[in-house]
Amino acid sequence: MIPLVESFYSFQGEGKFVGSPSVFIRLGGCNLGCAGFGVKLGGLVGCDSIKAVNQEHFGDTWEKVDNLIPTINEYIKELEFKPDIVFTGGEPLLHYQNPILLEALSHFQEHRITFETNATIEIDFEKYPNYKNITFAMSVKLENSGEAKLKRINHQAINAIVKNTKESFFKFVLSKKDVETKEIEAITKPYQSTKIYCMPMGSTAKELAENDKAVANFCIKKGYNYVDRMHIRLWDNEEGR
């Protein structure tokens, strides 16, 4: 079985493939809490995907499935094109060895598949070669996440992804308070050929507007790619978007 928090069809709102029609599969569980992001729900504080992170409080709402293929097919069966497929969380790589996930990756290998990951879990690419054909959006957490550095940065895991994949990229979340950070340079220095995208922090359009210009100017200064969070601009933090 594998824990499915939600699935939906929309477009990619952030990162390298922003605007691309995509089927999203959100898996439950995470190895980080990121209370520093300050999103509040049911007395808990964390990231904007808190329902997929906290199993203790929300695990009973997760669907335990034994096959992801029918779920994905429901969204693509009437489309005349192959949409992207995005696995997100929580932290989807907690399940990277799960046969149910591996079966889905094999079945949909003709689609462009992205994993949105915090890049702390090292993948055995030789044992699981399907992952070599996948793009990883490496959202490595910064000090603003509230997580300890040793817990949120795993260079062995990042090295494995960069070495074994072609289109993977870094994706960082920043507030206007974080634009003097040197962490991004320190984290990405060993990976000069891997593109860097930065996004404004916020779980609503109003919160994004408080940070976007500062982050955009930071990207212009540093030579990074600025990318907005289009789904939040349009629908705030509405589920299924």
Could you report the per-residue pLDDT of 26-53, keeping only the tens digit for each?
A: 999 999 999 988 888 878 888 989 999 9
- Give the per-residue pLDDT at 241: 86
Angle at 206 between CA 203 and CA 208, to 5 degrees: 60
- Sole residue written with tokens 């300050």: 38
Domain-by-domain residue ranges, the chain?
Answer: 2-235
DSSP symbol at 33: -
Could you report the per-residue pLDDT of 58-88, keeping only the tens digit for each?
A: 999 999 999 999 999 999 998 999 999 999 9
Cα–Cα distance measured from residue 112 to residue 207, given in angstroms and rounded to the nearest whole number: 31
- Give the per-residue pLDDT at 239: 82
What does DSSP say about strands 169-174 and 135-138: parallel, antiparallel, or unpaired? Answer: parallel
- The superfamily in CATH containing domain 2-235 is Aldolase class I (3.20.20.70)
**Percent helix / strand / coil, the chain, rounded to 5:** 35, 20, 40
Q: Any idea which of 42-56, 87-101, 142-156, 192-206 has the lowest mean pLDDT? A: 42-56
Could you report the per-residue pLDDT of 122-136, keeping only the tens digit for each?
A: 999 999 999 999 999
